[in-house]
Structure 1
């Protein structure tokens, strides 16, 4: 559990955690794989969300997942780009969060192993991304502002530290 003081400082920046869906590159699960290949090549993100037609997050997709389908024993084939859809290649086992239902501590634990987390609303509709980078920016804020907002006194003797 976070210290209440630390949690208050985090909450001061909580509004900046979410990168809104309007600023996120994504693909639909029924897009042809070549479309996703082009998107991932252009945006230079390592992985992007995959949505269904109702804007629910149904997967994640990376360039490595696509190129893995293109690799043959002795050559690279472009056939999968026209023969497959995003849903044939995407990762379907991944964490996602709802801000209203996910504690700050759970968010942080999930970000240890994930560069980003898709954020959904109560209807499971994609709202944006929570990124490890944004959390690091919050901790930077805390590290630089803690002493200006709080006075800390030691509860142990200096020799006990």
Structure 2
């Protein structure tokens, strides 16, 4: 089995650019109903995962920051508390499974570290549930 068998491609993934502002990130999370999304930089490389909690902590710890001025803070300025490790599309399947045990999704990158999609833990569980034989 290959990592690519489980790839949820980038064009289907909700993600945010590191240069986007906090309001855009909040809107994306609200629209998708996700609690965390991948962050990519201007070169298309995966740089981390942004969570709802990260946004709340930034608001709490930034004097004068509120819902009316979230556009002044860029995503790259927000400390991220979740670090979803990425995996190469060419990595061993077991390496991806190891990461998926601790992450809701595993970001997947190509040979140049460009973000190409994610592996969702729920898809792995569904696959194994369908294929378990006694």
Smaller-chain TM-score bracket? 0.7 to 0.9
TM-score (norm 2): 0.86
Normalising to structure 1: TM-score of the pair?
Answer: 0.72
Higher relative contact order (CA 8 A, sep 6+): 2
Aligned Cα root-mean-square deviation (Å): 2.4
Q: Which residue of 2 aligns with 1:110?
A: 99
- Segments of 4+ moved more than 2 angstroms: 13-16, 75-80, 90-94
Q: How many Å apart are 1:99 and its aligned residue?
A: 2.3
d(CA) in 1 for partners of 2:58, 2:3: 39
Aligned partner (choices 38, 52, 57) of residue 63 of structure 1:
52
1:98 is the counterpart of 2:106:
no
Unaligned ranges ≥5, structure 1? 1-10, 148-161
Structure 2 distance, partners of 1:16, 1:122, is: 17
3-state secondary structure, aligned to 1:71: helix
- Provide the rounded CA distance (Å) in 1 between the counterparts of 2:85 and 2:41: 17
Aligned with residue 34 of structure 1, among 23, 44, 58: 23
- Mapped partners of 1:80, 1:65: distance in 2: 16
Name the structure with the higher strand share.
Answer: 2
- Structure 2 spans left out of the alignment, 5+ residues: none
Higher helix share: 1
Quote the offset at 1:50 in angstroms.
0.6
Which residue of structure 2 lines up, in the alignment, with residue 157 of structure 1? Answer: none
